[in-house]
A and B are shown apart, each in its own frame.
Chain A
Amino acid sequence: MREANGPAGAGSDDARRKKPRRYADVAGPTVSGILEQVNQQRERLEARLASVGAVVAVASGKGGVGKSAVTANLAVTLARRGARVGVVDADLNGPSQGHMLGLLGKRLGDGADGVEPPEGVAGIRAVSTELLLAEGMPVRWRGPQTDRFVWQGITEATALREFLSDVVWGELDYLLVDIPPGTDKIGRFLDLVPAPDQLLMVTVPSRVASAVVRRSAAEVREARVACVALVVNMSGYAGEGGGATLPLFSGAGVADLARSLDLDLWAEIPFDPVFGEATDRGEPPGADGSSAVARALHDLAERVEHAPGGRKAKP
């Protein structure tokens, strides 16, 4: 049934007018050019990522589980094992890779072919809103101050697309993407990069965090991501002296947690305050040393290297 403006009975013109063709009946490109431009953006993104060996997303769905610290330390570990590594801080509103990778104060190169990312610790190239914002300022977007909910999400998705497609990454072995909290943010990333080589789901061994990760895992499974693995962060407390790791959370053990989530467990990383402090000041230790955290990161890097897209993966 057609809807028309105007008073009742004013439909005589409508009655004489023949029924217009529908969108699908009208051949040819759009006259607005919007669809074609969006497709071009997608092609540009694919072309840019063609020089990347493996895209490794680090996600959770839950906040505060240490995704960013895991990302930074995994990046450092892989780089020190000889890989060329880039990092995208997809957490636009809560960025931290600028701090963690020692990039604060560094500048991005402004070129016609793209933005040259600065190099941080271990030669890691990275982009983050931390590099774009004035000190202490939150992410705010210009535009009409009413009905921001209509356009703000699209603006942020576009910014993330630009972080991925407009950066001159060059030849990389790994591009790690630090995905912000929120199951929807994983979906937003997968819209842009539908087939990341690996997706690491980070959680802490608490019931609440695991419940959220379960939802995220369902989202990822529906998207048919080929390689999804579990990283349990803060799996215990590794105090000074390298003694036994003490439990931080009660409840199911890590192995049970992995089983219940139906994910391959790739790493159990204990909490070590010295390690955390070093990461916060921009010197992530990675797998340096012989601490329990270092051993866990070493094992995690090995798993990444042997998984799809990894440097040691079978062709």
Chain B
Amino acid sequence: MKFLCLECDEVMAFAERDLPGDGTLTAIFTCGACGREMALLTNPMETRLVTSLGVEIGGRTVPEQPFQQTRTNLDEPREDAFAEMVPRTEPGEAGGGDTLARPPSGVTWSAEATERLGRVPTFVRGMVKRIYAEYARERDIGLVTPDVMDRARNDLGLEGM
């Protein structure tokens, strides 16, 4: 999908995405030559069609998580289907280099954020935790607080997380 500014014959660049929580999506594109902006607005069915592909219009903001689409979209799941894996070692340590999962290093969680995370259904909790941690790590945020979680939700369009 490409958007062409007819006036300038320039490909418009992705600028911003907004998921207000009602299933609709707004994606804003701008023309680098004349600065003109345009918004792509999709209804819930159109939004779902795109997200079903496991993609985000404008590119991913955080890496796709394992089983992300299945876990996000499956209705009435078995709540205890997943067990969070405990990292054995950090990369570079003796015995490291295994394929076991480990959360992004250098991020800690406040008590309030931990409590809030505990209310996330276990079916998606591990995935949600990694998304928040990745968000914090990419912005050099050392402590995940409820405020950081709110910002991540807004920035990443994490409805229901």
Contacts and interface: CB of A to CB of B under 8 A. Distances in A.
Contact of B82 (A110, A141, A162): A110
Interface residues of B, number: 58
Contacts of B99: 113-114, 168, 170
A146 B44 CA distance: 10
A107 B122 CA distance: 12
A107 B73 contact: no
Contacts of A116: 85
Contact of B56 (A37, A132, A155, A159): A37
Nearest to A114: B66
B6 A20 contact: yes
Contact of B6 (A17, A141, A170): A17
Given A20-B4, A31-B3, A131 B66 contact: no
B111 interface: no
Contacts of B64: 41
Contacts of B1: 30-32, 34-35
B52 interface: yes
A154 B126 contact: no
A150 B84 CA distance: 34
Give the secondary structure class of B's interface: loop
Given A109-B82, A150-B49, A134 B11 contact: no
Nearest to B66: A166
A112 B75 contact: no
B57 interface: yes
B29 to A, nearest CB: 6
A19 B83 CA distance: 57
Nearest to B50: A34
Interface residues on A, range: 35 or more
Interface string B1-41: 11110100101111000000001000101000000000000
B85 A111 contact: yes
The 3 closest A-B pairs by CB, nearest first: A111-B101, A110-B126, A33-B59
Interface of B: 1-4, 6, 9, 11-14, 23, 27, 29, 44-45, 48-50, 52-60, 64-70, 72-85, 99-104, 123, 126-127, 130
Given A108-B83, A110-B85, A140-B75, 19 more contacts: A31-B1, A33-B60, A34-B50, A37-B56, A108-B82, A110-B66, A110-B101, A111-B102, A112-B102, A114-B101, A133-B76, A134-B77, A139-B74, A147-B45, A155-B52, A155-B69, A158-B69, A167-B66, A168-B99
